[in-house]
Copies of this chain bind each other. A is one copy, B any other.
Amino acid sequence: MLKKQYLMVPGPTAVPERVLQAMHRPMINHRGPQYEGMFRSISEGLKKVFKTENDVLTFPAAGTGAMEAALVNVLSPGDKVLAVSIGAFGDRFAEIAARHGAVIEKLDFEWGTAADPARLAERLTQDKAHEIKAILLTHNETSTGVTNDIQALAKARGNHPALVLVDAISGLGAINLEMDAWGLDIVVTGAQKALMIPPGLGFVAMNERAWGAQAEAKMPKFYWDAQNIKKSLAKWQNPYTPPVSLLYGLEESLKLMEEEGLENIFQRHQKLRDILRAGLKALKLSLLADDAVASAAVTAVLAPEGMEGKKIQKQMKDRFGITLAGGQKKLENKIVRIGHVGYVAETDILVTLACLEMTLQTLGIPVEYGAAVKAAERVIMEG
């Protein structure tokens, strides 16, 4: 049976047709005025998405590369770092810093919950000597489908001088984040989530405090050197050859985001989350995250008792063309993750729920056909 493909993973996400079209253009000289005009418009557009007046630096790299760039630009070996982790990507942020010689202190929260700002404040208050140089935060934890309250966590810093570094890779552009208003020192994101382009670009924005730290930081770097990027950016250029077609795509996706409106995009993602969760609950499935902290970009649902999550993924893909993500690390096979970030519409959620009903029934989990879709339609029509 002919199937259409639905990429319901939390990245890379579906790329809009207009973006694909835009990418399908001949190469141009990345040292010429045409490129400079485009890169200027992109760099200014990115500031709006970051809600910042600071420069947004573009790195041809995966999001993980941009996380590394953020760390090595403001830290020195031996610096103490407080890594707040609520999942696999929080752990990764800490691990990268450790690999470069930072001394890591973890502030861990149970997977599926959000970080508690009070516990962060408490720990920082204890640090009278201001040994902690940086606080690592995750905006949206992709591995568990939980969104942290970054505003509250940043506020918990109080007068402590540590820098706040935020991995906003899977959330920025889908879930509100205000770099300047919330006083975030460094914000990192990637291309293949809410920015709706194929993977291959990472972004780092640094405020004045971060640039101050950058001047002193001793972790070795060449490709990640933010000074280099900033110098080229002043001429609307890149120090090393940029992936031109991805930038064509980004120019177009920023236009799409401008047309839809950032606040509308945030509302859409919340609505998609609410529709999906209502449907999943109607199937009596358990959700990993509480409603209060549930991500608007990705939803983690527990596999029914005694069933491997992979079986659900396989049936959804093989029979219906719907790609879901599995659990990572300690959640492997225990959860299935449904991405709904970027170019996702209500109809994608309806299809996913209808096919999940049939998939569960096929796998021996009795469900009432139509029950999830019914609950989802109710939420759609409330709005």
- Residue numbers of A with Cβ under 8 A of B are 1-4, 6, 24, 260, 264-265, 268, 271, 320-322, 343-348, 350-351, 354-355, 357-358, 361-362, 368-371, 373-378, 380-381
**Minimum Cβ distance to chain B for residue A106 (Å):** 38
Q: Which of B320, B343, B371 contacts A347 (CB 8 A)?
A: B320
Q: What are 27 of the A-B contact pairs (CB < 8 Å)?
A: A1-B268, A1-B271, A1-B345, A2-B260, A2-B265, A2-B344, A3-B347, A4-B347, A4-B348, A6-B347, A320-B346, A320-B347, A322-B347, A347-B351, A350-B350, A351-B351, A354-B373, A354-B377, A357-B377, A358-B381, A369-B377, A369-B378, A370-B370, A370-B371, A370-B373, A370-B374, A373-B374
- 10 pairs of A and B residues whose beta carbons are closest in the complex: A370-B374, A370-B370, A369-B377, A369-B374, A373-B373, A4-B345, A350-B354, A370-B373, A347-B351, A2-B345
Give Cα A320 to B1, complex, Å. Answer: 25
**Minimum Cβ distance to chain B for residue A195 (Å):** 15
Closest residue of chain B to A372, judged by CB?
B370
Please determine whether B268 and A2 come into contact, CB atoms closer than 8 angstroms: yes
**Minimum Cβ distance to chain B for residue A329 (Å):** 32
Give Cα A358 to B268, complex, Å. Answer: 18
Inside 8 A of A355's CB, which chain B residues have their CB? Answer: 347, 350
Give Cα A322 to B345, complex, Å. Answer: 12
Inside 8 A of A374's CB, which chain B residues have their CB? Answer: 368-371, 373
Residue with the greatest number of chain B CB neighbours at <10 A, chosen from A346, A350, A370: A370
Closest residue of chain B to A6, judged by CB?
B347
Please determine whether A377 and B370 come into contact, CB atoms closer than 8 angstroms: yes
Inside 8 A of A362's CB, which chain B residues have their CB? Answer: 381
Please determine whether B350 and A377 come into contact, CB atoms closer than 8 angstroms: no
Inside 8 A of A368's CB, which chain B residues have their CB? Answer: 374
Inside 8 A of A264's CB, which chain B residues have their CB? Answer: 1
Give Cα A381 to B360, complex, Å. Answer: 12
Give Cα A373 to B264, complex, Å. Answer: 29
Known: A320-B347, A369-B374, A371-B370. A381 touches B361 (CB 8 A): yes
Residue with the greatest number of chain B CB neighbours at <10 A, chosen from A2, A350, A381: A2
**Minimum Cβ distance to chain B for residue A44 (Å):** 23
Please determine whether B346 and A1 come into contact, CB atoms closer than 8 angstroms: yes
Please determine whether B380 and A358 come into contact, CB atoms closer than 8 angstroms: yes
Inside 8 A of A348's CB, which chain B residues have their CB? Answer: 4
**Minimum Cβ distance to chain B for residue A245 (Å):** 14
**Minimum Cβ distance to chain B for residue A254 (Å):** 15
Give Cα A378 to B369, complex, Å. Answer: 8
Closest residue of chain B to A347, judged by CB?
B351
Inside 8 A of A371's CB, which chain B residues have their CB? Answer: 370, 374
**Minimum Cβ distance to chain B for residue A251 (Å):** 19
Inside 8 A of A370's CB, which chain B residues have their CB? Answer: 370-371, 373-375, 377
**Minimum Cβ distance to chain B for residue A54 (Å):** 29
